Structure 1
Amino acid sequence: MSQRTSPLRRRGLVAALGLGLAVSGLGTVPALAATDHVVVNEVYGGGGNAGATLTHDFVELFNPTASPVDLSGHQLLYYSAAGNPGNTCTLSGVVQPGQHFLVQQAKGTAGTEALPTPDATCTAAMSATAGTVELKAPDGSTVDLVGFGTATKVEGTAAPAPSATRSISRTDAADTDVNSADFTAGTPSPSSQGSASTPTPTRCPGCWGWGFRP
Structure 2
Amino acid sequence: MNLTKRVKKLFFKQKEYYFSRYYYRQLIDKYTTNIATYVKLLNATSLAVYNQNTNKNILEDSTVTFKYTISQTKKIYGEPIYIIENHVINEMSILFYRLKFANERVKCEFHFYKNELFYIKYIFSYISDKQKKSIINVLEGKYLEGKKFNYKMNIISDNNNNKLLITEDSHFNIDFLSLNSDFFNSIEDLKKQNEEKQIESQLKFINQMAKNL
TM-score higher than 0.5:
no
Normalising TM by the smaller chain, what interval? under 0.3
TM-score (norm 1): 0.26
Higher helix share: 2
Larger RCO, structure (CA 8 Å, separation 6 or more): 1
